[in-house]
């Protein structure tokens, strides 16, 4: 069975087939680097990572590119105010726009490490690709898809692309009906969007056939996706807010320029809410990794929380939900840590069978439009099986570890490399206490056994008595 994904263009789940067998060319709209990324942005990147890892797991060669928007994030309001978000941030922080971009790119790369997002082929920066944007813009002007105003700005003419609106439903007619009155006079149609903004005052500016200025936002993704992945992409992703205008405009530019179908499969993820609302700096719901770590949570827990919700379903972040994710991750660690083998035992074929079933079910669930909750059910099935059984024959214990390694290719929790350092430096000491408690109970020294249990509880350790002995986890 192959993958089936929801395609925003046709609003239904349909089979996914890349243009070239075995190879997937995927472009993800990445961060705009005028501010810290918050956990809502992390959700979109985690979705891209889950998609990437699922394709990897199924054996595809994935050519993935994620852009860094470090110039020209122009909304209509920005054009009217004459400033883009990079310049606003530069004024706010008393730094240059170039310094702002570098600082937030550095911070983003730190988050990439912390969230364990697999690195794409490239993280191209918009400011490094202005020449490619100018090339496409010139061609669009020459072919009549774009026009230059008296002020030296270049706009794409939506009326020149009859399919405008096919992704979002915002057709030229629909937009006309609902158009705002205060549109810029220089535009031929209110929905026309900027490819180039002439502005000699802008901190980030380049020479162009239309004078000094800077590129529009949408053109960067048409230019960079083409440079790294070619004219035709298999998958293009973004957050739900990218559907319109950003992706609608990318389609118009790219398809007018190349005459080919730009993207075979459009995928978008829903927003993250915090405490049931939109994130805002003013009320403390603008959460970054710093708050997560300051509250003593691990980034593994945050990663698990963000990936465990289906990408097309709403996800509401609460600190309780994060604590819940933490205990699931701790539970997985505990199962793997306490996996015991006994060289004297003969291998049990049921173990290998169960592991193979878990792996097959896990991949099949992901192929079904990234049904992560069904995939996770297989992981928890494996965990329950391991907790109930054991000690295992050496080969069986290895097979169980291999199954956890398989699912971790997607989970990205480094499940098999959590050493005692990551678990705390006192693991050996706790092992000894747990053993002492077992001995105390065996010799009916109940007072000492209770004392040890209290001490362990005080340190946040839970001891589970199973038929095969005691297991502990934090």
Residue numbers of the site for Zn ion (CB under 5 A)? 29, 221
CA distance 54 to 62: 10
- Taking the least distance from each CB to Zn ion, the nearer of 217 and 304 is 217
Q: Are 204 and 213 in contact (CB under 8 A)?
A: no
**Min dist. Cβ of residue 110 to Zn ion (A):** 22
- Beta-carbon contacts of 350 under 8 Å, excluding residues fewer than 6 positions away, are none
Alpha-helix runs per DSSP H in 309-426: 319-337, 349-367, 372-388, 394-411, 420-423
Q: Are 311 and 269 in contact (CB under 8 A)?
A: yes
CA distance 103 to 85: 15
- Taking the least distance from each CB to Zn ion, the nearer of 69 and 367 is 69
The candidate with the shortest Cα–Cα distance to 380, out of 402, 398, 360, 362, is: 362
- Taking the least distance from each CB to Zn ion, the nearer of 248 and 369 is 248
Tell me if the bond preceding 245 is cis, omega within 30° of 0. Answer: yes
What sign has the CA pseudo-torsion 192, 197, 202, 204? Answer: positive
Tell me if the bond preceding 24 is cis, omega within 30° of 0. Answer: no
**Min dist. Cβ of residue 270 to Zn ion (A):** 18
**Min dist. Cβ of residue 29 to Zn ion (A):** 3
Phi and psi torsions of 342, nearest 5°: -135, 110
Helices and strands in the chain, H and E counts = 17, 14
- Taking the least distance from each CB to Zn ion, the nearer of 270 and 354 is 270
**Min dist. Cβ of residue 246 to Zn ion (A):** 6
- Taking the least distance from each CB to Zn ion, the nearer of 66 and 328 is 66
- Taking the least distance from each CB to Zn ion, the nearer of 62 and 221 is 221
| Beta bridge partners of residue 26, listed in sequence order | 64, 235
- Taking the least distance from each CB to Zn ion, the nearer of 73 and 187 is 73
- Taking the least distance from each CB to Zn ion, the nearer of 29 and 100 is 29
**Min dist. Cβ of residue 221 to Zn ion (A):** 3
3-state SS assignment for residue 378: helix
**Min dist. Cβ of residue 224 to Zn ion (A):** 8
**Min dist. Cβ of residue 400 to Zn ion (A):** 42
349-367 helix and 394-411 helix, angle to the nearest 10 degrees: 10
């Amino acid at each position: 069975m192959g993958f089936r994904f929801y395609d925003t263009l046709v609003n239904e789940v349909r089979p996914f087939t890349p243009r070239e067998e075995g190879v997937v060319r995927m472009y993800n709209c990445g961060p705009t680097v005028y501010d810290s990324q918050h956990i809502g942005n992390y959700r979109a990147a985690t979705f891209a990572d889950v998609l990437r890892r699922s394709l990897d797991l199924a054996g595809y060669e994935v050519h993935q590119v994620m852009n860094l928007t470090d110039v020209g994030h122009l909304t209509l309001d920005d054009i009217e105010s004459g400033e883009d978000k990079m310049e606003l941030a530069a004024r706010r922080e008393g730094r240059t726009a170039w310094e702002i971009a570098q600082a937030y790119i550095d911070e983003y790369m730190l988050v990439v490490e912390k969230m364990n997002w697999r690195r794409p082929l490239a993280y191209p920066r918009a400011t490094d690709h202005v020449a490619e944007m100018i090339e496409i813009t010139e061609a669009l002007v020459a072919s009549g898809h774009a026009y230059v105003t008296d002020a030296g700005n270049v706009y794409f003419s939506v009326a020149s692309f009859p399919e405008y609106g096919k992704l979002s439903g915002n057709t030229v007619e629909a937009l006309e009906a609902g158009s705002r009155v205060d549109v810029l006079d220089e535009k031929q149609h209110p929905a026309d969007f900027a490819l180039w903004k002439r502005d000699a005052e802008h901190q980030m500016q380049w020479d162009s056939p239309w004078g000094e200025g800077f590129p529009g936002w949408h053109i960067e993704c048409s230019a960079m996706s083409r440079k790294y992945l070619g004219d035709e992409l298999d998958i293009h992703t973004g957050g739900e807010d990218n559907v319109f205008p950003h992706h609608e405009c990318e389609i118009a530019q790219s398809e007018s320029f190349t005459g080919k179908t730009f993207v075979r499969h459009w995928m978008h993820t829903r927003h993250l809410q915090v405490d049931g609302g939109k994130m805002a700096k003013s009320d403390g719901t603008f959460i970054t990794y710093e708050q997560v770590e300051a509250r003593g949570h691990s980034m593994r827990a945050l990663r698990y929380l963000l990936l465990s919700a289906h990408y097309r379903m709403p996800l509401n972040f609460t600190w309780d939900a994060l604590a819940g994710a933490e205990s699931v991750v701790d539970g997985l660690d505990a199962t793997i840590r306490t996996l015991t083998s006994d060289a004297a035992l003969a291998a049990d074929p049921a173990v290998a069978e169960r592991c193979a079933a878990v792996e097959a079910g896990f991949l099949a669930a992901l192929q079904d439009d990234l049904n992560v909750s069904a995939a996770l059910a297989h992981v928890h099935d494996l965990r329950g099986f391991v907790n109930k059984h054991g000690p295992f024959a050496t080969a069986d214990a290895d097979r169980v570890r291999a199954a956890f390694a398989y699912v971790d290719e997607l989970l990205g929790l480094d499940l098999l490399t959590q050493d005692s350092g990551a678990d705390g430096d006192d693991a050996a000491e706790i092992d000894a206490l747990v053993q002492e408690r077992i001995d105390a109970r065996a010799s009916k020294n109940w007072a000492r056994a209770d004392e040890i249990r209290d001490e362990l509880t005080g340190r946040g350790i839970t001891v589970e008595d199973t038929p095969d002995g005691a297991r502990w986890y934090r």
